[in-house]
Amino acid sequence: MAVIGKLFSRDNFRLSAVKHNIVKYSNTGIISIVNKRNGDNNYIKEIRAKNNWQSFTKRKLYTYNRNIEAMALSPLDPSSYSRPELAVVKHVELSLDVDFENKQLSGLALLTVNAIEDINEVKLRIKYKTSPSATALQWLEPKQTSGKKYPYMFSQCQPIHARSIMPCQDSPAVKFTYTAEVSAPENFSVLMSAIRDGSNNTKTTFRQPVPIPSYLLAIAVGVLESRELGPRSHVWAEKEEIERSAWEFADTEKYLQAAEALCGPYQWTQYDLLVLPPSFPYGGMENPCLTFAGDRSQADVIVHEIMHSWTGNLVTNRNFEHFWLNEGFTVFLERKVGASLISDKDEARKSRDFNSLLGLQELTETIMSNLGPTNPLTELVPDLTNTHPDDSFSRVPYEKGSLFLRYLEDTLGGADTDQFKSFLFEYFKDSADQTKALNDVDWATWLHKPGMPPVIPEYDTSMTKAVKNVLLKINLNDTASLDYNDVISFSPHQMINLLQHLVDQDALPLDKLRTLGEAYRVSTSKNTEIAYRWLRICIRSRDENKLNDSFAFVNQQGRMKYVRPIYRDLYAWEDVRERTIENFLRNEPYMMHVSAYTIRKDLHIDV
């Protein structure tokens, strides 16, 4: 039984490694341990926590009268105390109650654990409650929702926040199936990252037969409606958003079929979408069976989340040091699928390369302007010892990872990290030319050196030439020459590319800035990617007329991709720095933990 004490001594109930104390278990908390050995199925030990589970496990856990000291971080995962090399949770049965008044989930978790030492299988029954400040849960007041009448709750467990809402081995190296029975107020819909088996007025049941890592556990509860998108898809949203959401994501089945043509059959049975309120910190989250979408303005984000159904959800990084294997592969495949939807092969190639160039722009800003070219977090495989994975989040694993795969594709003519490299060599071992090409790859620099990639693929630049011509006109000519005809033929991505160039260069004079905004019709754009970049350009030019719009944007948006750069730009403007910090502190209670935590660091506020 020693292994069980090690397995659950800290990881699930204390986050001391990342300086959080999140989960507080009920005063009547009980663990029941079931020994399943030689056909026996009897309770061998029952442990009662006299105060709460957190204090009970703070120093020592006694099982079978054996003293188990709290252990160090797992040798396989620097972000977890779990020990999957000793024992692994294989299945979880959840029975939960949703309490909006106290902002808690409470109930039972029955964990089936396969142990290597002493016994074959153990079952743990744990009664628990989450804390109102559990970092994986966002509890919204009615005024924060579209309908303004009912509360709303949703989760975000990635990267290491599942431990704040359920007992688990919170490491992507551990995958488990699960079932759940969730009770919620009458007329509230409950959704999870699982197949919805049935529901009545207050209780909903789920099953997830495909093993998932803990970060893909997801739950959302609100007064929601659904619309059918296709034979295996529905979209869920508040009543005020449902029709527009159904229209926005009408092509979901087409995207699924294109992904299957590249990656093989979809394994998760259903692919539903949930459109969340804007406080959600990401554009999307690839929870199996139920993708969370941050808003309706970026339907192409759904292609990215669909690709995660193969890369990330089925094949998963061992720990978050290897996060690029999730996101780099997903971006790489997302762009291939997007190109496959264009019938003209030449245009498809140009489109894929243009989107890759947009990604390279974002990567360059991230490395050269934000993190710095010598920052260890710009390595594809960063060392996260003593580093919270939230602190390592950036465009690097997405874009540097995708660029590396494109480089390998160009080098080979098509087609942990050490395991990935070994697979490539094994796969091509009978081809002398391919083996030589792999030997010529500078693996150490690509994977373990900070800064920009050592090689940039030769992308088709035909779609960028028109953008650069307009950029040249902006920089060389007087303001009177700027005209909408300059950009009338631009795709939205070309306009985004143009604005990103303006973000990256020296600030524009105010008169030229305002003329450009009106002439090119970007100052009133509803496209989030365009509006975000336009606000950054205005902040860099110190346009005080755009301050209210900038604060409104960060207060209404939860997506870190947009909010963090704007907060950093506002902080760099000394005259509005104090106002920026005040705005953040006023809105922090309405933000998800991961957003508030990282923006606090951006604004140099103690965390």
Predicted local confidence at residue 122, as pLDDT: 86
pLDDT of residue 299: 63
Quick: pLDDT tens for 542-587: 999 999 999 999 998 888 889 999 999 999 999 999 999 999 999 9
Q: Is 208 annotated as a binding residue?
A: no
Identify residue 120 by its one-letter amino acid code.
Answer: N
Residue 39 among known ligand-binding residues? no
Lowest mean pLDDT among 9-18, 128-137, 512-521: 9-18
- What would the pLDDT profile of 450-493 be if each residue is shown by its tens digit? 999 999 999 999 999 999 999 999 998 777 889 999 999 998 88
Range of lowest pLDDT (105-119, 191-205, 372-386): 105-119
Query: Is 505 annotated for ligand binding?
Result: no
401 annotated to a ligand binding site:
no
> Which pLDDT tens digit goes with each residue over 138-173?
999 998 888 989 999 999 999 999 999 999 999 999
Question: Is 448 labelled a binding residue?
Answer: no
Give the pLDDT score at 144: 84
CA R_g for the chain:
25
350-524-512 Cα angle (round to 5): 85
3-state class of 128 per DSSP?
Answer: strand
The string of pLDDT tens digits covering residues 16-49 is 222 332 233 333 333 333 433 333 333 323 333 3
pLDDT top residue among 166 and 438: 166
| CA 583-586-590 angle, 5° bins | 115
Q: Tokens standing for 391?
A: 């602190």
Q: What is the pLDDT of residue 565?
A: 95
335 annotated ligand-binding residue: no
560 marked as part of a ligand binding site: yes
Is 241 labeled as ligand-binding? Answer: no
Task: With CA atoms as reference, report the closest residue to 434 among 452, 451, 414, 412.
Answer: 412
* Segment (H or E) for 410: helix 401-412
* Sequence-distant contacts of 253-257: CB under 8 A, at least 24 apart: 253/229, 254/341, 255/302, 255/303, 255/306, 255/337, 255/341, 256/230, 256/232, 256/306
pLDDT in tens, 187-220: 999 999 999 998 888 999 999 999 999 999 999 9
Buried b (16+ CB within 10 A) or exposed e, 384-408: beebbbbebbbbbbbbbbbbbbbbb
Query: Looking up tokens 């397995």, which residue turns up?
Result: 7
Over pLDDT 90: what percentage of the chain? 68
Cβ density class 337-369: b for 16+ within 10 Å, e for less? bbbeeeeeeeebebbbbbbbbbbbbbbbbbbee
403-429 average pLDDT score: 73
The average confidence (pLDDT) of the chain is 85
| CA 156 – CA 291 distance, rounded (Å) | 11
**Residue 500 pLDDT more than 90?**
yes
pLDDT of residue 428: 64
Does 308 show up as a binding residue in the annotation? Answer: yes
The answer to the question of whether 286 is labelled as a binding residue is yes
Which pTM does this prediction carry?
A: 0.81
Residue 580's contacts (CB-CB under 8 Å, 6 or more residues apart) are 567, 570, 571, 573, 603
On the question of pLDDT at 424 being above 70, the answer is: no
- Local confidence band at 119 (pLDDT 50, 70, 90 cut-offs): low
Q: Is the pLDDT of residue 506 over 80?
A: yes
* Mean pLDDT on 281-295: 84
Q: How far apart are CA 66 and CA 147, in angstroms?
A: 54
Which residue did the predictor score with more confidence, 596 or 1?
Answer: 596
Is 158 within any annotated ligand binding site?
A: yes
Asked if residues 11 and 169 have their Cβ atoms less than 8 Å apart, the reply is yes
More confidently predicted of 524 and 95: 95
Query: How does pLDDT run across 209-257, given as a tens digit for each residue?
Result: 999 999 999 999 999 999 999 999 999 999 999 999 999 899 999 999 9
Q: Is 327 annotated as a binding residue?
A: yes
Q: Residue 148: which residues within 8 A CB-CB, separation 6 or more?
A: 142
Which domains does the chain show, CATH number per domain?
2-223 (2.60.40.1730), 320-448 (1.10.390.10), 469-602 (1.25.40.320)
Which residues are identified as catalytic?
305, 398
* Res. 297 pLDDT band, cuts 50 70 90: low
pLDDT tens per residue across span 409-420: 888 765 445 656
Q: Is 285 annotated as a binding residue?
A: yes
